Amino acid sequence: MANFKKATSIGDWFDQRLGTKKIEKIMASEYWIPKNINFLWAMGMVLAITFKLLLISGIFLMMYYKPDVDLAFDSVNYTIMAEVGYGWLWRHIHAVAASVIFLIVYIHMFTAIYYGSYKQGREMIWISGMLLFVTFSAEAFSGYMLPWGQMSYWAGMVITNIFEGFSPEIAGGMLNAPGLVEWLRGDFVPGDAFLTRFYMLHVLLLPLAILGLIGLHFGALRIPHVNNQDGEDIDFEVESKKYLAGDTKGSKVMRFQFDFLSKDIFVLGVFLTFFFYLVFYHFTFALDPVNLDPANGLKTPAHIYPEWYFLWSYEVLRPFAKDPGLVAFMFAQVAFFLIPFLDRSPNVAPANKRGLFAIWFWVMLVDMIVLTIMGKLPPEGIFNVIGGVAVWTFLGLFIALPIITMLEKKK
Ligand code: HEM
């Protein structure tokens, strides 16, 4: 991997990596991939294809969906599901893809954490990835509003209520501008203006932002190349020359077309088999039964909870009273952005070769699963205790990260 100077700006960061000469060189040459990688390096491709499935199925759904509080519910649950030929299929594909893409995103993120793929020149890949994560979360949330069922309405109410903000006494009214919540909703409660603006965000602004961010993510990936299973610093020029001179076995790299691509396509085939199995036989897991009742502002559901992929951050909010809860929740949204800066060790190596960091990694993974389970259960009795411990562990892990990585010995 090339050694870059400390960048003085984002423009400088890209100039160093994607200077005109380098771009010409990349275009003129083939693209090389390390041999020492496993199926987890196919997750990026799986994500790109799942996003395409969302775009295509979304375009079909748009043809019959009506963004109007009086028509939205029926346009989804009767027109699309029962009247339009294969409308049900596009809806199942869209709902299952929206859920499964988060599972793959989490696997992709934790792979990068495990192998330290956010360090030494790869920071921008991580940051652009995190921006994708946040924008995807907004895309999923805005899409959830559109069927205008009970959960759409009440989740919309709860989340926009967050902007009521901190108590004026502690934060000088931060986020607490008078009328901010009403301004966001376009009304005192979620209604027609709310639904129409979330529709615009879901079908136009956020997909455009995601496409731009995918471009940034892929651009950041061109140089340096992807990491590998041992975090080895490979000289791609030497290794690709070795390969082209005929020593294909001895070389540490392989061609993108079609050596790497054939492996990627195999993993994609396995994924799509699982995906269409869910679409045809188990699509209900992605559609909450409470949302099969039309929105009713006079009837609050007994237990309001978000989709499974938001449960961990929702749980971080719950154990606290209003202000600290908001701080903890906001921290959870941005905490993962900080990983490349909190990890103070220069070692790019898999977690199992990094001493205490291995423990940190597995505790974090298990803790996020516990937070997710507790987020779904009612906040009472033993669930409150377990949830509380998991939240403090989550916050503590971010404080511990710089300390344990500073203690880590150099490779
Ligand atoms: C739609 C969303 C995304 C798409 C389409 C995408 C696509 C890709 C692709 C194609 C790769 C190269 C192959 C691979 O390592 O899988 C990659 C690598 C990477 N992505 Fe993503 N990604 C997405 C989201 C994210 C997120 C949410 C993160 C985490 C914050 C992230 C962080 C990374 C990192 C650190 C690498 C480098 C891996 C390495 O060097 O080994 N990506 N991504």
Q: How many whole angstroms separate alpha carbon 200 and alpha carbon 261? A: 36
Instruction: Give the C-alpha separation, 271 to 261, whole Å.
Output: 15
Between these two residues, 326 and 29, which has the higher pLDDT value? 326
SS (H, E, C) the chain: CCCCCCCCCHHHHHHHHHCHHHHHHHHHCCCEEECCCCHHHHHHHHHHHHHHHHHHHHHHHHCCCCCCCCCHHHHHHHHHHHHCCCHHHHHHHHHHHHHHHHHHHHHHHHHHHHHCCCCCCCHHHHHHHHHHHHHHHHHHHHHHHCCCEHHHHHHHHHHHHHHHCCCHHHHCCCCCCCCHHHHHHCCCCCCHHHHHHHHHHHHHHHHHHHHHHHHHHHHHHHCCCCCCCCCCCCCHHHHHHHHHCCCCCCCCEEEHHHHHHHHHHHHHHHHHHHHHHHHHHCHHHHCCHHHHCECCCCCCCCCCCCCHHHHHHHHHHCCCCHHHHHHHHHHHHHHHHHHHHHCCCCCCCCHHHCCHHHHHHHHHHHHHHHHHHHHHCCCCHHHHHHHHHHHHHHHHHHHHHHHHHHHCCCC
Query: Is the CB–ligand 1 distance for residue 51 below 6 Å?
Result: yes
Q: Hey, what are 69's tokens?
A: 């509080």
Going from the Cα of 40 to the center of ligand 1, the distance in angstroms, rounded, reads 10
Least confident among 64-68, 327-331, 381-385: 327-331
Tell the residue nearest (CA) to atom 15 of ligand 1.
41
Is the minimum distance from the CB of 43 to ligand 1 under 6 angstroms? yes
Determine the Cα angle at 195 with ends 191 and 196, to 5°. Answer: 120
For the CA of 130, the closest atom of ligand 1 is 30
Q: Which residue has the higher pLDDT, 101 or 237?
A: 101
pLDDT tens digit string along 64-100?
Answer: 999 999 999 999 999 999 999 999 999 999 999 999 9
Ligand 1 and 313: CB distance under 6 A: no
Percent of the chain with pLDDT over 70: 91
Counted residue by residue, the chain has a size of 411
pLDDT at 170 over 70: no
Q: Taking 80 as the threshold, does the pLDDT of residue 20 lie above it?
A: no
Instruction: For the beta carbon of residue 334, count every other beta carbon within 10 angstroms.
Output: 10
Tell the residue nearest (CA) to atom 22 of ligand 1: 44
CA distance 57 to 55: 6
Separation between Cα atoms, residue 89 and residue 12, nearest integer Å:
47
Question: Is the beta carbon of 119 within 6 A of some atom in ligand 1?
Answer: no
Which residue's C-alpha comes closest to atom 41 of ligand 1? 227
Are the beta carbons of 282 and 142 closer than 8 angstroms?
A: no
Q: Which of 87, 83, 82 is nearest to 61 (CA)?
A: 87
Q: What is the pLDDT, as a whole number, of residue 159?
A: 86
Probe residue for ligand 1, chosen from 1, 108, 211, 229 as the CB with the greatest number of ligand atoms within 8 Å: 108
Tens-digit pLDDT profile for residues 336-358:
999 999 999 999 999 999 999 99
| Residue of 125, 229, 336 best suited for mutating to test ligand 1, as the one with most atoms within 8 Å of CB | 125
CA of 156 to the centre of ligand 1 (A): 30
Alpha-carbon gap, residue 120 to 112, rounded angstroms: 13
Please give the structure tokens belonging to residue 273. 């088999």
User: Does the beta carbon of 112 lie inside 6 Å of ligand 1?
Assistant: yes
The CB of 129 under 6 Å from ligand 1? The reply is yes
For residue 345 and ligand 1, the question of a CB distance below 6 A is answered with no
Range in 8-22, 44-58, 75-89, 90-104 with the lowest mean pLDDT: 8-22
Backbone dihedral angles phi then psi of residue 72, each to the nearest 5 degrees:
-55, -50
Q: Closest residue (by CA) to atom 16 of ligand 1?
A: 44
- Quick one: average pLDDT of 222-226? 81
Pick the CATH number of 24-304 from 1.10.760.10, 2.120.10.30, 3.30.70.141, 1.20.810.10: 1.20.810.10
State residue 27's pLDDT score.
Answer: 47
Name the residue with higher pLDDT: 395 or 16.
Answer: 395
Q: What is the pTM of this model?
A: 0.90
Q: What single letter denotes the amino acid at residue 283?
A: F
CA 273 – ligand 1 centroid, Å: 22
Domain range summary for the chain, segments of one domain joined by +: 24-304, 311-411
Listed residue (350, 308, 274) closest to 106, CA to CA: 308
Please indicate whether residue 125, judged by its CB atom, sits closer than 6 Å to ligand 1: yes
For the chain, give the mean pLDDT: 90
- Report CA(262)–ligand 1 centroid distance (Å): 19
Say whether pLDDT at 26 is over 70: no
Neighbour tally for 264: CB within 10 Å: 21
pLDDT band at 28; cut points 50, 70, 90:
very low
Rounded CA-CA distance 355/407 in Å is 10
Distance 211 CA to ligand 1 centre (A): 14
Ligand 1 pocket test: which of 217, 227, 254 has the largest number of ligand atoms within 8 Å of its C-beta? 217
Q: Using omega within 30 degrees of 0 as the cis cutoff, is the peptide bond preceding 301 cis?
A: no
Q: 87: CA distance to ligand 1 center in Å?
A: 32
Whole-angstrom distance, CA of residue 358 vs CA of residue 341: 18
